[in-house]
Structure 1
């Protein structure tokens, strides 16, 4: 018998893998319908499936109810989110936005060196506060860690070409179902996780577990606090309170509670990286364009007075500050390639036919796009409504437009205005007095985030420092 060497073993495994791949690929067309996700419906039992769900009496009424229960759950959850965060309702979270902004100012005053770390803390803490009413003291908070790990997995999976099997439809972790992989070679989803080269399945299982914790852990804490009467005001406590007044304990109530939990988790995961990216772009823009910083500070001093902190209600009287916020969003887009959309029907664009099912990516053109020019949004000292507002693009469009855009913009505006009112952002210098020029480079990922850079953040005056020290964080408690 000839002993099998390592190279022979590898060759044998390759042949086995190739045989499986050819076999499954050959049958993939016949089995394509089996790869598609099933429509929503009652949960199956082992072996018997949905046998006991089929009603013996008046089945048409049960089927009609199933249609109501399982049709497009996305609409229910989006409606729930919209009711809490539309342009008018988002004002109920102004105290949390103000408190998180003031906390950021105090951290910058104590430690001005870790600017991007403070921005990450701001974003994560605000989302946890608004969504769950949970205080986050540092970036080491377990809830922040969970969200970062879950988003890291999403960022990797969303990059085309990372895996031969790239997720197109991935079911949430809270559903008892397998993750579906459908892209380049759909048949690879049947390869067992222990098989050489099936690392994508092992990663998917790891990310599923983290996502499950992201959904369950903070919600469980809020539910416990609501029952004890100690839950601070938040999206979750608000909706759990409304649930308790109406459908608590019923089957319908269980569905609503699940909607609350899943909607909260989506908002928890959605905003942290994007907010951090925009704030980093703001800092780089000020380093590259010191004149814009001075103009904004002059406007703030003239309108609210030096040494005072701005409020969200001051925005209409501060058009140049608002123009800076818009230019920050336009200059280096948080998601420069956008989210691809699929056309449901054939369309036409500038005389060209766009076939049904085409994948399209939105784009927007501005004159001199590489220059940071807040003035492009101004006319006669006021915001110019004739210029395309970047908010109309960066938050998406159509039915999938970001429902949290009003919250995100309010937070970004107040944070930028408050930093401009109290701090100077300048280029750092080394020990020999030489200016350290930032690279102005960004990570090449789904979310465009500035690479690490150094800068100098100093209070504009003792009066500005005193204004920061005088801030007192407060909370509105749910009753």
Structure 2
């Protein structure tokens, strides 16, 4: 919880006591029926479960707590209530059936007010401003329009194959570059540089900050917003320097490409893209509503970039790891591809004929989640549910990791096994789809999910059509053991690992080299 770097906690004792007393009085008034709180760790007076609050891979800790308290548990930390949900039934009941009361976001001073992530609608409070962001984004990424981006996705996938051929050891970087390339082209019409592109670099820094600060309570200022006003020179205020650096990067990510496109539009040199469409729809610059509409359009492009350039990156990187660990899965996928493609590279219209590949995409999403806890929701008003009282302002978390690793639903859930989704050679609709948790919940589900799934199909098929993926070798020529470990944080990525990526044949290498000439 960044307690060490927030060493001002001794000075906040009186504030904590007053806050606790305030919460105690308020909760008693708002729960007139004296319903019990949901089960969970009781903690201590005032501080609650502060010492039990998990900050390292909390989804795994919560998964263990479900075994003690059931599929829903409650706890408090410094007066802030938390409710964690561990089943599809619970997330559906609250995030879907009661979405009007469970679609808000908790105030996150570190992430929003200090790091300035307010351009990302995923963190905006539930209300009209969020709805306008969501509606505008949906206009450009709904399922009936994402097909227009397929040519860009194919082109960047094939460029990805060529980069892998030159420097296969840099595959982790190439994955990030490929996704950054496609979404920057779609959103801004810009072709990024082959090496050290500022869009990719700044996006990676910004998302690294999001991964660190995105889970509520990671920084003490989330509990005590008044700490924002602590001077930078104050002992223990090193976290403010972090915030300032990330705030600068977020300003660059949100503003630089948007301003660049506006200049290109004025000069008549801009390529058609989402940004040019939005700029063309803006009112005159002297119109009273211009600043608001300009900000809304800028945010739409910026959130497309940070979402499209990153969330699916983790899944594809995990896919490389799975191929190293499960060669029999790779063999099955290649056999299916070879039967359908017959010596050519894949296209989107091949998808209906590739059931095993579609099962792999589902399993890649399920196996290692990029957002194991999604983004936390907040209870807008006190609620009664299943005989329990849920206080107003409760942070409500859906543990997607638990939902997609439930051993009663998925046999041997830690194993990567696409066959679990198949029956009689077709996708089995009775098996739990990872979409129930992978992209979030309720009204706050990721609106870019259709673009993301298309990207996954493109990269999985192109990789397996032409490359063999195996574990790396140590100095003695033996395959290095790979452990499927993921990083901590709101966004989770595979821990670094090595693998060998080599063309399947001379014919495959020719396909890679000639891919830039294909339609």
Could you state the TM-score of these two structures normalised by the residue count of structure 1? 0.77
Partner residue of 1:453? 497
Q: 1:20 to 1:321 in 2, by over 3 A?
A: closer
Q: 2:332 aligns with which of 287, 295, 300?
A: 295
Whether 1:151 and 2:207 are equivalent positions in the alignment is yes
Q: 1:374 to 1:20 in 2, by over 3 A?
A: closer
Structure 1 residues 29 and 444: alpha-carbon distance in aligned structure 2, compared to 1, 3 A threshold: closer
Q: Secondary structure at the match of 1:114?
A: helix
Q: How far does residue 253 in structure 1 lie from its aligned partner after superposition? A: 4.0
Q: Please list, as runs of the form range in 1=range in 2, the aligned pairs for 1:220-231 lying within 5 A after superposition.
A: 220-231=259-270
Is 2:318 the partner of 1:281?
Answer: yes
The change in CA–CA distance for 1:378 and 1:345 in structure 2 (over 3 A counts) is farther
Going from structure 1 to structure 2, the CA distance change for 1:22 and 1:304 (only over 3 Å counts) comes to closer
Distance 1:163 1:344, change over 3 A: closer
Whether contact under 8 Å (2:216, 2:376) holds in the other structure is no
Aligned pair in 2 of structure 1 residues 249, 380: CA closer, same or farther (>3 Å)? farther
**5+ residue gaps in structure 1?**
1-13, 38-69, 167-182
Task: Check if 1:210 corresponds to 2:246.
Answer: no
In the TM superposition, residue 140 of structure 1 has moved relative to its aligned partner by 1.3
Instruction: Quote the offset at 1:21 in angstroms.
Output: 4.2
Aligned position for 1:51: none
Count residues in correspondence: 404
Aligned to 1:56: none
**Residues of 2 paired with 1:88 and 1:274: CA distance?**
22
Matched with 1:61 is none
Q: Does residue 461 of structure 2 align to residue 417 of structure 1?
A: yes
CA distance in 1, matches of 2:257, 2:384: 46
What SS does structure 1 have at the residue aligned with 2:168? coil
Q: In the alignment, is the contact (CA less than 8 A) between 1:286 and 1:293 conserved in 2?
A: yes
Q: Does structure 2 retain, via aligned residues, the 8 Å contact 1:86–1:406?
A: yes
One of 279, 285, 300 as aligned partner of 1:240: 279
Q: Which moved more, 1:211-220 or 1:356-365?
A: 356-365
Instruction: Give the distance between the partners of 1:254 and 1:162, measured in 2 at CA.
Output: 33
Tell me the distance in 1 between the aligned counterparts of 2:18 and 2:384: 37
Query: Contact (CA 8 Å) 1:286, 1:426: kept in 2 or not?
Result: yes
Which of 489, 498, 507 is the aligned partner of 1:463? 507
1:474 deviation in Å? 9.6
- Tell me how far apart the structure 2 counterparts of residues 20 and 352 of structure 1 sit (CA, whole Å): 39
CA contact (8 A) 2:141 2:448 kept: yes
Residue 376 (1) aligns with residue 417 (2)? no
Greater CA radius of gyration, 1 or 2? Answer: 1
Displacement after TM superposition at 1:30 (Å): 11
1:432 aligns with 2:461: no
* 1:128 correspondence with 2:184: yes
* SS of residue matched to 2:462: helix
Q: How much is the aligned-residue C-alpha RMSD, in angstroms? A: 2.9
Gaps of 5+ in 2: 1-6, 24-105, 108-125
Match of 1:360 in 2: 396
Assess if the C-alpha contact under 8 Å between 2:168 and 2:500 holds in 1. Answer: yes
What is the Cα deviation at residue 285 of structure 1?
A: 0.9
In structure 2, the CA distance between the partners of 1:134 and 1:18, relative to structure 1 (3 Å rule), is: closer
* Aligned counterparts of 2:445 and 2:379: Cα–Cα separation in 1: 15
Question: Would you say the 8 A contact 2:213–2:490 is kept in 1?
Answer: no
Question: Is 1:395 aligned to residue 439 of structure 2?
Answer: yes
Select the residue among 103, 113, 119 that pairs with 2:169: 113
Structure 1 residues 354 and 106: alpha-carbon distance in aligned structure 2, compared to 1, 3 A threshold: farther
Give me the whole-angstrom Cα distance separating, in 1, the residues matched to 2:312 and 2:9: 45
Q: Tell me how far apart the structure 2 counterparts of residues 238 and 146 of structure 1 sit (CA, whole Å).
A: 24
* In structure 2, C-alpha distance between the alignment counterparts of 1:89 and 1:352, rounded to whole Å: 44
Q: Secondary structure at the match of 1:360?
A: strand
SS state at 1:336 partner: coil
How far off is 1:139 after superposition? 5.0
Residues 277 and 450, structure 1, Cα contact 8 Å, conserved in 2: yes
Contact 1:103–1:473, Cα closer than 8 Å, also in 2: no
**How many angstroms does 1:398 deviate by?**
1.0
2: CA distance between counterparts of 1:301 and 1:287? 20
Match of 2:144 among 82, 85, 88: 88
Change (3 A) 1:242 1:104: same
> 1:6-155 residue pairs with structure 2 within 5 A?
21=12, 72-138=128-194, 140-155=196-211
SS at match of 1:388: coil
CA separation of 1:72 and 1:161: change in aligned 2, threshold 3 A: closer
**What SS is found at the alignment partner of 2:310?**
helix
Q: Which residue of 2 aligns with 1:329?
A: 365
Q: CA deviation digits over 1:342-361, x for unaligned, max 9?
A: 23466677x56362544332
